Amino acid sequence: MSDEHKGHRDRTRQLFLQMGGEGLPDHILLEILLYYAIPRRDTNELAHRLLDAFGGIKGVLEADVDELQQVPGIGYNAAVLLKLVLSIFRSYLKDMQSFENVLDCTQKIGDYLIPMFIGKTDEFLYLLCFNDRYKLLRCELIAQGIHNAVSINQKKIVERAALSKCSRVVIAHNHPGGVALPSDEDVRSTLQIHNTLKALHIQLVDHIIVSGDDYISLADSNIFVAL
């Protein structure tokens, strides 16, 4: 790396430290991030290519590794680094939720769940298990990448709930690219799971559907009045 190139990188890093991320355009932030995967070429040009290819920072961070590597100059290491950003951000948001694992109302449950689905372009299904005081005992990924995951995985949901020795559960899944409204199949499956768990003395407290930064609670909605 030439002294001039190294000097540019040092100046850009210092600019970031002085101004913070909010004060810099997206292409500069991407340029700096790519320094750590691409040590010996102009990452400013690569940052612009990424933003052009995916329509903005959201598209870049949500693209999969194979898609990222289709951009000239982006190799495997750079693609993995970019994929790490959303995963770390999701963990940060979950850590910020200082609920002490007690999720005793719909808003707390919804706020806990939203970070888990940030950037997810496939359908994910989670099972949250609680004791009788609504302390979260475990949050388990039941399925991913499957349409109608709740319907298909009813048996697994019941089995995992029973194994956890919990008294209450919440199921949650996302509608990527859609709206946070339940389908008829979502409602039917939820009723069936509710009735099966009830026979095992486990209460299905809610079914939360997430889309973007929005969610709907079937327990709080007239769409599903059995809970």
pLDDT tens digits, one per residue of 4-34: 667 889 999 999 988 877 788 999 999 999 9
The pLDDT, as a whole number, for residue 225 is 61
**What is the pLDDT, as a whole number, of residue 150?**
78
Give all domains of the chain, ordered by start, each with its CATH number.
3-94 (1.10.150.20), 99-217 (3.40.140.10)
Using a cut of 0.85, tell me whether the model's pTM lies above it.
no
pLDDT score of 1 more than 60: no
In terms of Cβ atoms closer than 10 Å to its own Cβ (0-12, 13-18, 19+), residue 132 is exposed
What is the end-to-end Cα distance of the chain in Å, rounded?
63
Whether 189 and 154 have beta carbons less than 8 Å apart is answered as yes
Give the tokens for residue 52. Answer: 């052009």
User: Is residue 119 helix, strand or coil?
Assistant: coil
Question: Which region among 99-103, 168-172, 175-179, 213-217 has the lowest average model confidence (pLDDT)?
Answer: 99-103
Average pLDDT over the chain reads: 89
10, amino acid identity: D
Q: Look-up: residue for tokens 């004060």? A: 23
Tokens of 121: 């372009």
Cα–Cα distance measured from residue 51 to residue 63, given in angstroms and rounded to the nearest whole number? 11
> What local confidence, expressed as pLDDT, does residue 105 receive?
93
Q: Residues, the chain, total?
A: 227
